[in-house]
Amino acid sequence: MKNEDKDLTRRKTIGWILRAGIGAVIAAIVVKTSRRSSGGRLVWQIDPRKCIQCGKCETACVLQQSAVKCVHGIQMCGYCKLCFGYFKPDAPRLDEAAENQICPTGALIRKFIEPPYFEYTVDEDLCTGCGLCVKGCTNFGNGSLYLQVRHDICVNCNACRIAEVCPSDAFVQVPENDPYLLKELLPRET
């Protein structure tokens, strides 16, 4: 009887040593991996300086309607009459008719302000994030149109599907309290 008691106590002690050991390892992992500065979460965003407008943002997102949309940094815009983000290279005329527009959904809105300037705005409900306008504006214009993850739509997957297929590693994680990388506010070089 006494022997069995001893056996039980020994087993219990070994159990607690093992538990304490594994618990300590887990605690050490948490301490080693976590940032000291803040406990906040990270969200996905596109660095517009790295984006090559490959068009995968439109199709790779796990949501049916991609969380990536075109935004317009209007402080950078040249208000061009011939906007390379708005008109197709072979546009028959320089007006708002659908056949002249690059945007497949008509989400880029062109509004006359004063000669010779036009204002361009994005209708986010229509935008699919294909980046065709961004390509034109970046390559030939001021680059004021660019793609961003819209956080009212994004569900913040742990592993962003678009980030995984992004050919230029333009997807980065940013703190949740500063969730946009607005091109007009960023330093030019990456």
Partner 1 sequence: MRSNILENCMLNIGYWILAAVAMAAPLTLTAASRFPQPEFDSGYVAHKMPHPAPDFAVTPMMDILILVVALCIAVVLVRKVRSRNWILFFGLICLGWFGFIRNGCFCPIGTIQNVALSLFTGVRLPLVMGLFFAVPLIFSLLSGRVFCSVICPLGALQELFIVKPLRMPKSLDATLRIIPLIVLSVGIVCAVNGAGFIICRTDPFVGIFRQSAALPMLLTGMGVLLVGTVVARPYCRYFCPYGVLLEICSLISWKQVELTSNECINCRLCVGMCPVDAIEAPRPALSDKVRGRQFKQFLYLLVFLPIIILAGAGVGHLAGAGVAQLHPGVMLVEKWQSVEEHDEDLFPSIEAFKRSGGTIEQAKMQAAEIVGRFREGCMYSGVFIGLILGLRLLVLSKLQGRKVHQASRSRCVACGRCFSVCPNK
Q: Please report, as residue ranges, which positions from 15 to 44 form the binding site for partner 1 (by CB under 8 A).
A: 15-16, 18-19, 22-23, 26-27, 29-30, 32-36, 38-43
Residues 43-72 touching partner 1, rule: CB under 8 A, are 43, 52, 54-56, 62-64, 71-72
Neighbours of 64 (CB within 10 A): 5
Is residue 186 involved in binding partner 1 (CB under 8 A)?
no
Q: Please give the residues from 166 up to 185 whose contact with partner 1 meets the rule CB under 8 A.
A: 167-168, 176, 179-180, 182
Which residues fall within 8 angstroms of residue 79, CB to CB, at 6 or more apart? 113, 117, 118, 119, 120
Size of the site for partner 1 (CB under 8 A): 78
Question: Using CB under 8 A, which residues numbered 123 to 142 contact partner 1?
Answer: 138-142
Q: Which of 4, 5, 114, 125 binds partner 1 (CB under 8 A)?
A: 114
Determine the Cα angle at 145 with ends 167 and 84, to 5°. Answer: 100
Instruction: Say whether the peptide bond before residue 115 is cis (omega within 30 degrees of 0).
Output: no
Q: Which is nearer to partner 1, 96 or 140 (CB)?
A: 140
Q: Say if CB 67 and CB 101 are below 8 A apart.
A: no
